[in-house]
Structure 1
Amino acid sequence: MPILLLDRRLEPQRIDGFADQGISALDDSTALPGPAVIVEAVDPAPKAADHTRESRQITGLIASRPLACREQHGDWVEIDTEAADHWTQMTDDLRRRLIDDTQASLDVNEFKQATDGASTSIITNNWVYSGSPRVYRIAGRLRDFVAVLGDLTRG
C-alpha cells in the first residue's frame, strides 16, 4: 500500500522509503510546515466525482492507517501501533465525529468497536474515561492525529 503525505495542499504526495528512512527524512522535503499527516493509504485514488477536490482527497484518506502527524510548525510525531489500529477499526461516522470534535464522547459500545472489543476497564495512553455509565474520549497520539486531521479538513 502506498505511503502518502497529506498537507494543506490536500493533494496526496507519495512518499518512498518511509519505513526505511523514518519521518526524519521528511524534514528537508517539499512538505509544508504543517499541519500534515502521513498515512498508509487503503485507496490511493479515491473516486468521488460529485465532491470537491478537497472533500474527495480527505474522504478517500480518512480511513487510512495513520503513521505520523505534525501540527503547524511542529515536529513530526509517529503514531503508535495501538492508536493506528483503533483509528482503522472505527466507523467512518465515528471518525468524522471525532475530527469535528476531538472532545466528543464515545459510549461503551463505540469504545469496544474502536478497540476491537477491548475490556472497558483497560485504559491506554490513547483513551480516557469518566462517569457512570462510562464515557470515553480519545487521548495521546490518537488525539494528536485526529486534531491535525481536523485542522486539515477545516482548511
Structure 2
Amino acid sequence: MIRLTLSLVLTTFLLLSCKSPEEPFTKKTYPVKGKIMVDGKEPDFPLQITCHNTGEIDTEHPTASGSISKRGGTFELSTYTTGDGIPPGDYVLTFVWKKFDVMSRSYTGPDKLNKRYDEPEKSDIKFSVVEGKPTDLGVIELTTK
C-alpha cells in the first residue's frame, strides 16, 4: 500500500513538474513578399522595412512587423519569426536605406532615400493581407530623387 501511494505521489509530482509553461499568444500570420528597386536598380545595401497597421490597433495583443531586404532587393515580412508573415489587415510600408556599420551592428548615416518613405504618412505603399492567402507585392519602385 505504501509503495502504491508513493508511486502515485511520485507520478503526480512528475506530471505536474513536466507541465510546459503557457505559450505566449500569437496571431495567425500569412506570408507577404516582394522586391524593392531603387531608381530602377537593385539596392546595394539592405533596406529597413517597417509594416504599419492602418486599421484599429490591437491594444491587448499588439504586434510589430517588418523586414530587412536581402541581396537583390527581395524581402519577406516577419512578425514572430523570420519570414512568417503578418496578421490579416490593412497596412502601409515605410523604408529607410542607411549603411550598415558592422562594428556597431547598427544602421548609420543619412537615409539614401532622402526620407521620402520613412513615415507612414509619406509612403503610398499600401496593401491588405487577407486571411488564408499569401500576398505578393511584386516589385516596389522607390526613388532617391
Q: Compute the TM-score of the two structures, normalised by the length of structure 2.
A: 0.29
Q: Compute the TM-score of the two structures, normalised by the length of structure 1.
A: 0.28
Pick the structure with more helix per residue: 1
Pick the structure with more strand per residue: 2
